[in-house]
Amino acid sequence: MLDVLRKIVQEVSTAPDLQAVLDLIVRRIQRAMRTQVCSVYLFDASQQRYVLMASKGLNKEAIGNVSLSPSEGIVGLVGERAEPINLEDASTHPSFIYLKATGEERFHAFLGVPIIHHRDVLGVLVVQQKEVRRFDESEEAFLVTLSAQLAGVIAHAEATGSVIRGAQAGSEERDRRFIGVSGAPGVAIGRVVVVAPAADLNAVPDRDAQDIDEELDKFHQALSAVQRDIKVVGRSLSKHLRSEEQALFDVYLRMLDDNALAGEISSRIRQGVWAQAALRDVILDHVRQFSAMEDPYLRERASDIRDLGRRILAYLQEASPTSLQFHENTILVADELSPAMLGEVPTDKLMGLVSVHGSGNSHAAILARSMGIPTVMGVVDLPYTKIDGCQAILDGYAGRFYLNPSEELGDAYQEILRGEQEVAAELATLKDLPATTTDGYRMPLWVNTGLVADVVRSLERGAEGIGLYRTEIPFMIRDFFPSEQEQMQTYRRQLEAFHPRPVTMRTLDIGGDKALPYFPIEEENPFLGWRGIRITLDHPEIFLVQVRAMLRAAEGLNNLRIMLPMVTSVREVEEALHQIDRAVVELRDEGHVVDRPPVGVMVEVPAAVYQVRRFARRVDFISVGSNDLTQYLLAVDRNNPRVADLYVPYHPAVLRALDYIAREARKEKNVQVSICGELAAEPAGALLLMAMGYDVLSMNATNLPRIKSAIRGVSLKQAQALYDRVKQMDDADKICQLLQDELKRLGLAQLSRPQMPGETFNRH
Ligand code: PEP
Ligand code: MG
């Protein structure tokens, strides 16, 4: 049964649109369970009814025409209870309604299971049989399992389907809304440009051919290149292969024949589709057909066809590397937004960013915040390959993305943009004023940097130091490890620009979701794996070169501080200190005038929380990385949009840990305790951290003026009173609500996100 289940899910996942998905589901289930009827009812929110969308066994004319309200029939009851209903004779059930058009009077046995996606009932899956009998437990378990697995596919196809339907009808569906999570605040209105990862057939965007002959030409060149490659590989392996294995290469070549795939792709291009999408359509269609075959040998051929498709696509993409054209108001959309992609669009044209995967705590989102580009992450149902060139609105506050916006929606967001500009103008006047509370408490505000552009923006916004310079970013946008000299020059620019203010350089923090293209790390659980200091201590040659570059860069400036990421034990701190001391001695021996800079430890994992005092005895400062600390304390992957709702830095456990860290660190004299996670960049978060006694708040440059304004708008006493109330509470949602209400009462509501009608506070 497991095999049947796997096959159905696999086949359904590759169906091209919603109707095909539903038709396949009913046919396959009816066959697998040997029932007389299988039907799918989907809930249509606009009509507030369950509509019969597909059926094998009921009258065809009823499909699309029969519907039930949630309070009607057994289908309505399954939806309302959100649990299966298994009846030996449905007609005797009090909720039974006889729907004449379906012809279902002949069927007695009834099993209905809800289709639930992210807690929403999308619809109901029903099987029926003529006899009077109860479906047995294994049948019920089978349908429940299948329904749970198909829910995601149906939700995705539903979202995709309506965009396609809209586009095909000519009258595009307006205000199509996709839900994600906030990546960076702000609103963007513009046109979509899709960036596709290399050689990924599923990611090829729809586009018309500008010049059909040119597209045909490109395709034939790519095809010849692949044919050539296959022949070369075939020849070079000929000595090692038996003749029947060698024959596989001929099969490969024959598949690419004009009478086979190539002919089909060419005729698709002649219909006016660009070569990459023509290739995608034909290859994926064949992959679907082969995957559905009973014969395991033939089923395996699906992967050969996909492989050929990928190879041709790689050549096609090489032939049009500059095919991306950026509009004046570009909203960049990617399946998985990477830090490097942000650099691909000229900044004056880049209005917003959307990523299908990832969450507000992914590093791409953190960078977007520091660049001030509105971003929505984790828009998992966005059919991103179908929307290149569409008009769109991106709401980075609420994590919403709208396609083909109506005039009314456009006007509403223009209004928010105007409001934002007013707030920004007001905040700009604070640049040279200190972050001092109304009762005279001075809170130092520092910035987090990584990009060269951050330095100027940070100074313009009145930053008093750098609390976190993410050194991995210059490492990420290169093809190999930068040399000591190159690193030294990059670091020197940061130190000079901020001199005499302190600059905290974090040693290389790769691993997790931060990969270097030239140092790949493949792990099952990357966030629990080889990350941060674990890598650099294992590679003293990388660590020492970096520390030497930092020390040399600070020669004569002396405003450097070094910070160690992902520390879990005292031994790691001691080893790192030993290496730093060694670098100082080496450089002095070489004639450099270098001092041992202040060194600090990041508290990012629960183990570090309980050792703060021990660390504090050995180093000069403690800095909390609340992004990772929240992830590890709550056991919520910071990149996973499915659990983004559970990633709550205002969770009582996180707040208690933050409080404990500050108290423990302060027990050691002359040890500064700061925070450089994103919580410090939220007005409510900043007030709580100030009340807990943090010495420095470090944040992205974009939010610094808001935080300054929040601090200037309250007294320390008020912040402490607020924190005292929060401390008593045990529910994160209630804490968020209280914070929102209090910001409003203190006249600081405009510093958090603007409110759209009917929206609630966004905790992130
Ligand atoms: C953190 O984890 O809070 C932090 C500042 O580091 P990063 O976001 O770069 O992991
Ligand atoms: Mg971190």
pLDDT at 51: 95
Residue 544: per-residue pLDDT: 97
> Who's near 612: CB < 8 A, 6+ residues apart?
603, 622, 660, 661, 664, 665
| Ramachandran quadrant class, 347 (left: phi over 0; alpha: psi -120 to 50; beta: rest) | alpha
197-316 topology per CATH: Enzyme I; Chain A, domain 2 (1.10.274)
Give the mean model confidence (pLDDT) for residues 620-642. Answer: 95
Ligand 1 binding pocket mutation candidate from 471, 602, 627 (most atoms within 8 A of CB): 627
Segment of 288-297, 298-307, 672-681, 744-753 carrying the highest mean pLDDT: 672-681
pLDDT averaged over every residue in the chain: 89
Q: Give the up-direction half-sphere exposure of residue 447: CA atoms within 13 A in the CB hemisphere.
A: 30
Question: Backbone dihedral region of 648: left (phi > 0), alpha (psi from -120 to 50 degrees) or beta?
Answer: beta
Tell me which residues have their CB closer than 6 angstroms to ligand 1.
366, 468, 470, 509, 604, 625-628, 676-677
Dig out the tokens for 319 from the structure. Answer: 């032939």
Mention the CATH class of domain 2-172. alpha beta
pLDDT at 170: 46
312 confidence band (pLDDT: 50, 70, 90): very high
- Whether 499 is catalytic is no
Arithmetic mean of pLDDT, 653-660: 98
| Statement: 471-597 belongs to CATH 3.40.228.10 | no
Q: Which residues, 6 or more positions from 725, have their beta carbon under 8 angstroms from its beta carbon?
A: 738
Q: What is the CATH code of the structural domain delimited by 601-764?
A: 3.20.20.60
Tell me which residue has its CA closest to atom 3 in ligand 1. 625
| pLDDT of 345 | 77
Q: How many residues does the chain have?
A: 764
Residue 510, pLDDT score? 93
Instruction: Using a CB cutoff of 5 Å, list residues around ligand 2, an ion.
Output: 604, 625, 628
Atom of ligand 1 nearest to the CA of 676: 5
CA distance 31 to 38: 9
Q: What is the mean pLDDT of residues 551-572?
A: 98
Q: Using the Cα atoms of residue 724, residue 712, residue 621 and residue 468 in order, give the sign of their dihedral.
A: positive
Terminal-to-terminal C-alpha distance of the chain? 43
- Looking at residues 631-655, what average pLDDT do you find? 94
Summarised one tens digit per residue, pLDDT across range 114-132 is 999 988 999 999 999 999 9
Predicted confidence at residue 98, as pLDDT, reads 84
For residues 243 and 646, the model is more confident at 646
Six token digits for residue 599: 């060194």
Q: What is the mean pLDDT of residues 81-89?
A: 95
User: Using 50, 70 and 90 to split pLDDT, how confident is the model at 515?
Assistant: confident
Provide the 3-class DSSP secondary structure of residue 114: strand
pLDDT band at 757 (very low <50, low <70, confident <90, very high): very low
Q: What is the mean pLDDT of residues 413-418?
A: 90
Residue 237 binned pLDDT confidence (cut-offs 50, 70, 90): low
- The listed range with the strongest mean pLDDT (255-269, 451-465, 480-494) is 480-494
117 is catalytic: no
| Least distant ligand from the CA of 629 | 1
Cα 454 to ligand 2 centre (Å): 19
> How would you classify the pairing of strands 672-675 and 621-624?
parallel
Percent of the chain beyond pLDDT 70?
Answer: 94
Domain boundaries, the chain: 2-172, 176-194+323-405, 197-316, 471-597, 601-764
Nearest-atom number in ligand 1 for the CA of 565 is 6
Give residue 509 CA to ligand 2 midpoint distance, Å.
Answer: 8
DSSP bridge partners of 504 = 561
Average pLDDT over residues 292-312: 79
- State how far the Cα of 573 lies from the Cα of 210, in Å rounded to an integer: 59
- Cα–Cα distances in angstroms (integers) from residue 272 to residues 207, 211, 309, 326, 385, in the given order: 9, 8, 20, 22, 17
**Maximum average pLDDT range among 1-10, 144-153, 699-708, 726-735:** 726-735
Q: Quick one: fold of 176-194+323-405?
A: Glucose Oxidase; domain 1 (3.50.30)
DSSP-based three-state secondary structure for 55? strand
Matching fold, domains 471-597 and 601-764: yes
pLDDT above 90 covers a percentage of the chain that reads: 63
Among candidate residues 108, 156, 651, 676, the one labeled active-site is 676
Lowest mean pLDDT among 15-29, 206-220, 282-296: 282-296
Among 98, 92, 95, smallest CA distance to 79 is for 95
* Residue 156 confidence (pLDDT): 82
Residue bearing the bigger pLDDT, 445 or 301 = 445
- Return the H-helix or E-strand segment holding 633: helix 626-634
CA of 24 to the centre of ligand 2 (A): 45
Question: Looking at residue 17, what is its pLDDT?
Answer: 83
State the distance from the centre of ligand 2 to the C-alpha of 414, rounded, in angstroms: 36
How far apart CA 157 and CA 22 sit, in angstroms, is 9
